[in-house]
Structure 1
């Protein structure tokens, strides 16, 4: 059929452009990527797996998380925005980036690097303004740096966002953290 021929032509062109006949291989079930093909998204998912623990991160883990965070922050070509099929992948990348940023922000706060923690929180909040763990880390960073007024402003701004978008209040634990009443 014409569709099958078009597919084989595209596959041939792909292999020619890549300069690797084994980039895509035929199997009994159909086609798959060759053994030497690297897929950065799969590598990121695999690398993040062992880094997901409830234990405080050691220096090696922090370095690995920073490297992953930098990879996840890399900008994609503008043409990707026009690809509707890429939206789910982009969302997955942003959520992974926020997950890594949250771990790094907690670590920065525990290390007393409040500005680093706040920078990471701002990144998470820019993606999801209702991200309560990010808001909590930011409030704790403001409090740790001695700026209770900024912590209260941040809490109130978060409360307004929640009310506007979800018609709900911040958790009682977060309100208690800043001494506010829900």
Structure 2
């Protein structure tokens, strides 16, 4: 199984002891929210988009950020919109963004839930990961619990990041399930593999993982039922059939039946 290449983590400044504690929490998974010391802060739609963009892309040239966030405006108007948005953000919440003449980025005191998803995914994908089966299963459960990035947002840059995170998430879950199979922790492996199919219902490798675990559990009837549900899903939604590889997994059982 190939390892999905992932974008390097956004740049983060090192924090000195004199800097504020991480009291700002930006959530992008399952919806946008910003909290300071547990209290929710209301931010304009432009402010939300700017903070989300910086959380996902790290330090960015001002003209690049303006061009992405206001693609229908000319360069000068887009930069003016960026300046206005930064000014309003500073009035609404102190210390959220650091901006210079040429660049803009999130302040060090801002924590972002997406970073937790990326860290967990990369941890599971690390080939030298030496977690115990119990730890591997728990990391997988935590990873599976993450909701999609900014549901209801349809900007091109959001769609691209949502797909990237989803692929990282489901691939890491597949790897975790395979490690649990190797450790003969079949119940946990089935749980994690099934979670992968919920993250990406059309991804065949996730469904292959479920079928393999069910067959190793000596549950051929459940394996066939899972295969048939996936077969119907593909036919109904995409008009295609499962691959030969997945069919070969269940063919001996079907022949026997």
TM-score (ref. length: structure 1): 0.69
Indicate the structure with greater helix content: 1
Unaligned runs of 5+ in 1: none
Change (3 A) 1:63 1:13: farther
* Shift in Å, 1:39: 4.9
Change (3 A) 1:84 1:118: same
Give the stretch that moved more between structures: 11-20 or 137-146: 11-20
Please say if 1:25 is aligned against 2:99.
Answer: yes
- Aligned mate of 1:13, from 72, 88, 103: 88
CA contact (8 A) 2:148 2:166 kept: no
Question: Could you say what secondary structure the match of 1:13 adopts?
Answer: helix
Give the stretch that moved more between structures: 128-137 or 6-15: 6-15
Change (3 A) 1:76 1:145: closer
Equivalent-residue separation in structure 2 for 1:17 and 1:123 (angstroms): 39
Superposed CA RMSD:
3.7
Change (3 A) 1:62 1:91: farther
Equivalent-residue separation in structure 2 for 1:33 and 1:61 (angstroms): 38
* Shift in Å, 1:26: 0.9
TM-score (ref. length: structure 2): 0.52
Indicate the structure with greater strand content: 2
Unaligned runs of 5+ in 2: 1-75
The residue correspondences of 1:141-152 to structure 2 (distance < 5 A) are 141-152=213-224
Aligned residues: 175
Q: Which has the higher contact order (CA 8 A, sep 6+)?
A: 2
Cα displacement string for residues 37-89 of structure 1 (whole angstroms, at most 9, x for unaligned residues): 55554675467557535x47421798589548625633479xx4343334443
The residue correspondences of 1:22-171 to structure 2 (distance < 5 A) are 23-27=97-101, 30-33=102-105, 36=108, 38-41=111-114, 44-45=117-118, 48-49=121-122, 52-53=125-126, 55=127, 57-59=129-131, 63=135, 67=139, 70=142, 73-75=145-147, 80-85=150-155, 86-171=158-243
CA contact (8 A) 1:57 1:107 kept: no
CA contact (8 A) 1:114 1:141 kept: yes
Cα displacement string for residues 129-159 of structure 1 (whole angstroms, at most 9, x for unaligned residues): 3322111111111111111111122222223
* Shift in Å, 1:4: 5.9
